[in-house]
Structure 1
């Protein structure tokens, strides 16, 4: 597992995903974070996640790895050296309860094993990345499919926004948002994250 300093996540960064949850398209990036203890690499193993009777959702994401500290004017290819696919697991019932109270989402987003990630691969630039779709396969069926050209806020916008408001440093990760198709995970589900024709990571979810 890579050494990670901060895990930033972007909410509602695909129009169809915002629509499927009944949310408005944001006018600026919605940023939240996950603890580094939530991060786990998908290597084909079983992963235990706490959810109880609450509904657990999968959110597939394109993840970028920052190689050096952010400075204004630095472009994506100067700051990003690797990418991965990731799953932002969400306790949807808990998130709904927290939103109704106006509370932060941490309990719904930051639990153990809620930031699943594949192995990292070399980032070859935005255009090269847009040449591939990324997919989540659940029990043999494609349930989510996305492409970087569908982002509401592109990678440069996200990097500038996060770098300006929070700071970005070496070994930070950004989960850039999930496409439509978010759905429920049940105990025993087999999840595979696919980049083009290649499976980058997979795991079996066990809910406790």
Structure 2
């Protein structure tokens, strides 16, 4: 599989970037990108192997996303197509019950988003360009059924807008990853579930779920 954890730096994510996903969770649609990060220690690869997840912390929800890989240190005036040469599909896993408790208390989400294997990546593949990407479907199949499908043109904040926001707030460097949000259809994983991730109908990654008691 085409990946190397040594080439990956920081992991930035955006929440509620598809209107129907925000609605399905009962959340307001944001007026600016809702940004958070995930630790590198949470990274795993969808290379056909079994991945282990906690079974004692409530429901673990899958969220399929398009992932952009920053190809060079970003400078003022850089355009998305100039700095992103590779992309992947990713799954941002969430301990949904714990996240709800943390949100209720006004606490950070890290415990719900940064656990082991909470950030799953497919192989990397060439980035087609932002305009071309808008027309290319991506999807997640669980137990033979398509549970999520989306297009980047459905995003509330475009890939360019997300890059601009992250660059202004944090500064983006070569090797950074940008998870761009998930379409509707999120749900819980179950023990022995099999997942496949597709881009333009091509299989890009797959894994088997093991829930620990």
TM value normalised by structure 2? 0.95
1:70-81 mapped onto 2 (5 Å cutoff): 70-81=74-85
1:13 matches 2:3:
no
In the aligned structure 2, how far is the partner of 1:112 from the partner of 1:50?
9
Q: 2:104 — aligned with what?
A: 100
Which of residues 145, 151, 171 is equivalent to 1:141?
145
Structure 1 alignment gaps of length 5 or more: none
Post-superposition Cα deviations, 1:118-165, rounded to whole Å, max 9, x if no partner, equal 000011201222231000000000000010100100011100100110
| Contact 1:72 1:160 (C-alpha < 8 Å) held by counterparts | no
1:176 matches 2:143:
no
Structure 2 alignment gaps of length 5 or more: none
Q: 1:65 — aligned with what?
A: 69
Q: What's the Cα RMSD here?
A: 0.9
Post-superposition Cα deviations, 1:31-83, rounded to whole Å, max 9, x if no partner, equal 11110011111011000112425011000000000011122221101111101
Count of aligned pairs: 208
1:203 matches 2:178:
no
1:90 matches 2:91:
no
TM value normalised by structure 1? 0.98
In the aligned structure 2, how far is the partner of 1:11 from the partner of 1:174?
12
1:9-48 mapped onto 2 (5 Å cutoff): 9-48=13-52
| Contact 2:57 2:98 (C-alpha < 8 Å) held by counterparts | no
Which portions of structure 1, spanning 4 or more consecutive aligned residues, are displaced by more than 4 angstroms? Answer: none
Range moving further from structure 2, 71-80 or 138-147: 71-80
Q: 1:162 — aligned with what?
A: 166
In the aligned structure 1, how far is the partner of 2:146 from the partner of 2:189?
14
